[in-house]
Every structure is written in C-alpha cells, then in structure tokens.
Structure 1
Amino acid sequence: MAESDVIRTRRLTRYFGHKAVVEELDFAVPRGQIVGLLGLNGAGKTTTIRMLLGLLEPTRGSCEVLGVDSRCLTPETRARIGHTVEGHFLYPWMRVRECERFGRETHPRWDGGFFERSVRRFGIDTEAKVAWLSRGQRAGVSLASTLASNPELLILDDPALGLDPVSRRALNETILEFCQSGQRSVLLSSHLLDDVERVADRVALMVDGTMVVNTTIDHFRARIAAWTIDAPDSPTAAGNLSMPVPIPRIVNCRPLGQRWQVTVVDPDEDTRAALSAIESRAMEPADVTFEDAVLAYLSRSRVYHSFYTEDAS
C-alpha cells in the first residue's frame, strides 16, 4: 500500500454473532483511480463500506479513509467524501430544487451549477417533487447531490440501481470525468459488470467476506484462461466434472450444454498436463471475457448448473 492511497484496510474483520461477514480484508484505493468492488449479495461489500465510513465498528483490524482512521472521521474529513447508499434515499416531500438548496446549506464546497447540469443530464424537472419521481430519476437526483458536494473521494454503493440505459451511460461518463484530474478517486460497488469494466482501473472481488482478487482490470483478464471439454458420460453427484487428477489453479467448472467449461487462474504446465489427462473426446481453449472471469469466481459459492439442468444428486 502506498502513502497516496485514499482508502486502506488492514486485516479488516466484522462478525455478526458467530458469522464473519468480512474477514481479514486487505486492500487499497489509490488516489486518482476507480476501483470496482464486486461480489454477490451478502459477500460483505456494504458492510465494508459502512466500516470505511465509520458507521460500523470493526470486530478487529483497521481501515483508513483520506489518511484518517474511519473510527475518528471528523466533519471536515466527511465533507471530503461523497457517498450514495443503495436505494438512493431522498426526502419525498422535497422538490428537486429544494434538494439543491438543502445540499447548498449543508455542504461547504457545494457546486450548485454542477447540480443543475447533472439533473438536466438525467432529464429531471427541478420543480418536480421527489415523491413524483421514478426510481431512476430519484437515483439521478441522489447522484447529482453527491457529486455537487465536490468530494475528493466517491464511495458509490450500487449507484446505477434503477437507471435506464441512457442514464447509466451518463453516470459512467460522469464518473470518468470526475477522476480526470488524477486527484479524485472512486470506490464503486456494483453488480453491473459491463459498467465496471468500462470505467474501473482496478477490480476488488469479494467472495463470502474475503478478498479473492485485487488487481488491475487488465492484469485480471490476462491471468484467467478457460477450456471447453466434452462432458464425460458420468458426472459426479455434485454436478462437477469427473477428473482423474486434481486440476491445479482451477477457479470454476460449469456445464455448457453437452460440454464443460473449466476456468483456471495462472495456468502452468501442471495445469495443462492435468487437463490433458481427462478422458474426453475433445478439448479446446475458450475465450474469456471480464464478465466470464468474474462469474467464474462468484459461481464457486453457488450451484454450478442452470435452472434447466437437473441436479444429478
């Protein structure tokens, strides 16, 4: 971790009862970069964000935001952080222009002109009441309010929830413009993998509360490889490929019709030798997209088959 990091965690852990929701988390957000925080529902992303913002005490470990321990964030430091919560809460009785006035009176670095431009970009009438707005329009007002506070660091928890395709594109363009100077940074938690791939410099991937990937987008894609293999006649009861030997560095194995796709990280000669030992009629390399690579990791904590595949057990 570098001195320029705007977020740092060290062995960050949070238990609820006897369950570790976040466990031994070590990662950083470098200044000037966009980091995509990915994981299934329940992976620990929102819990991590709440600890970063000082809204939840860690069970053990520590986290810093803008060089300050998250348990000791002052109002001055908080004013440098922009945060959107999942669901985009707004006061329903306010008109959009009143949301702007509320922000102006509560944020010392408020940029009213930016707010006006942003809501227009999302196609929102400033005279409309929040209660009248669609889900996507409320998301647009929430994002405009967050960005108009002129933060150094943006922490976005599923910001595209409810946005239509045009508004999603506007959001992605705004995030990229926000970081253009190289002095502002974004932690983006999202389920929309194509959006993350489009804007992020780095990916941090959580599975069951632990960080399993933490690298640049390009490095992540380069380290993953896959092969499709003819399915054996007798798959195991768990639905996995019947393998005579373990496959080193395997990430995931899933059925694709009458074939299986085996995904591997950093394949070496041992990996290829193990794949060659599988009794199969055909095996060939498969293209791996960013989405394929992410889902290979996430699928390890879920069933492997589709809704149309019978469970062999």
Structure 2
Amino acid sequence: MSTREQRIHRLIEKSAGDRRTGEVLWRVVAPDGSLDVSHGDLDRPFFVASVSKLFTVACLAQLRDEGRLDWDAPIARYLPDLDLSGLAVDSGRDVSAEITVREVMSHTAGLADFFEGPRPDGPTTLERAMQRDFAWSEADVIAWSRAMTPARRGRGLYSDTGFQLLDSVISRLDGRPFAESVRARIAEPLGLGGTWVFTHDAIDRFDEMAVIRHGDRDLRLPLLLASCGGQGGVVSTLRDGVTFVQAFFDGRLFSTALLHEMLTDWHRIFSPLEYGTGVMRFRLPAVLTGFRSYEFQGHSGASGVVFYRDARTGVIVVGTVNQLKQRQLPYQLMIRTAAVAAS
C-alpha cells in the first residue's frame, strides 16, 4: 500500500470512528487508475438521497439527445394532465404555464420546496416524516407546494418539487414508471447491478440498506423514501457509484456537448453549493483549502452522500457518512481525501 493510500485510509477511518457519523462507506479513485481506495463493502447498498437527481438529469439529457424533449419549452407542455397553476408566481402573475424544463432543472423556476421548505401549516414535510413516516403522491406534492410561498423566478432556490415534476415528465415521455427508465437507460447499459429506485413495491427490502441516522437516532423512513423517486429514492453502491460518475462525465450516457452546456451558468443555491443545469458544484476559496483550488462537480445528498468529480484533477469521490444532521461532515472528508489523492 502506497503512502497516499495509507493517508487516505487513515482519514476515512478517523471519520468512521467519529461518533457523529453513521456507517461510513467511501471510495476515492484517481483518473489514471493509479489509486483506488475504499472503506466498507463495495457492494453495500445505501440510499443516495438527492444524488438521485443526477439520475433524473441523465434521463432528461438522453430524451433531449433523442429529440423528444426541449429543455427551453414550458414544462407544462409535457404534463398536460396536471394542474400546475399557482406553483410559480412572478411579480404577482401566475407563470406556472411558462416556466421551462431548463429552469426547473436549474432550480430557478421559482418553485417552492415541498420537502424542506417552510409550510404554512407547520413543520416541513421532512420533519413530519421523521416524527411519523408517511407516503405522498404527485398530487400531494403539487397541493402542498401551491400552498407555500413561491420563490422568485430567475433566482436559485433548491426545489424538490421541481424534480418530482421532472420525474413525471420522464415517465410520461417514456410511457413507464421512472424506476423503469432508470433501469433501462442507466443501470442496465452501465452494468450497475446494485443501482435501482426504491419504490413501494420494494418496502420489504428497506433493511438491506445502510442505516441513515439523525444525530444519535436511526431513521426508519421507508414510506418517505419510496415516495421520493428521482428526488431522493435511488439506491446504489460504491462500486456502481464510481462507474456512474465516470459515465456521466465522459459521454457514455449522453452527448459531451450537452454536458458542457449543463456545466455553465452557475448560480448559488446555498453556500458553498452552486447549481448549473441539473448538476451541483462544490467550491471553497483557496484560502480555506490550503491555497489549493478544488472544483467538485456532481451532486450531494442530505444524508451525507457525495458523488463528485474534481474538475481540475479528475479525482472521483463517492461515499456516504449516513448522517442527516451533521451536513458538513461528508464535504470535509471529500476535500481531505481528494487532496491526498491528487498529491
């Protein structure tokens, strides 16, 4: 084992021994194949939380490459059976029929966030589910979001509501459930045997996955996760995760020209995270990282998940600390392990 590998192992083991983390699963891979360090079972399944959005985006990119989806068309065009009125308001005018697929993908459509956004009737949806697990439907998401205060169109506001609508676009265009689109478009072509969308049909498999914690409490949220789809219901592994990230950025899932388009027009959603078109970027000022610049592109998940590639070094970091409460922990570990991998 090289000195770099030893250093990375020590960093991961320190995180795994931290009482604040849950079950730590981690993998760091250098682009030239000179380094591949993992902690935990490569095939241990875990919920990837909002990293699921990258799977939604990959499907949307394929549909655009196929000429079946126009990202600059109103999303309402693809959802004629849904009443979207009242979801997006601009200067007092209802623009729900005008917001585009691209705006929804970029979190700039002005949609409220039904999942963690403030609700007029009390706790957030996530807070309610942590008190007592429950399921929801597409109609519930629209109704709850309509009752919330919309954001300002053109400004970044992270919205799980938007990605539930995007999943609906995929299922309508493909004529099959979103989970089947992920299987046929991503998992099977890439040979991702451990990657799938957790649905209500799979409730009895919940205990196969690594446990997500909130502080010292183990969370059991099968109904919530089965309702999330591409918002946050994908299951994957360290082995599959690296393959997926590599394929996402090297043109095996959709055209590289489209990828370049997605990695522009960045805007802040919550510091230090930014969003392009369906892709998240994590950056910190060099003064905070030992005067070394890192630009991680990919996506994070609130339960401590990272699926990122360092755009400058090509190092891929995939993993989870399975902790919902301490959201800084996976980023700290990502920076430290990626820095050693690139040294």
Task: Give the TM-score normalised by the residue count of structure 2.
Answer: 0.26
**As a proportion of its length, which structure holds more strand?**
1
RCO higher in structure (CA 8 A, sep ≥6): 2
Task: Give the TM-score normalised by the residue count of structure 1.
Answer: 0.28
Q: Rg bigger for which structure?
A: 1
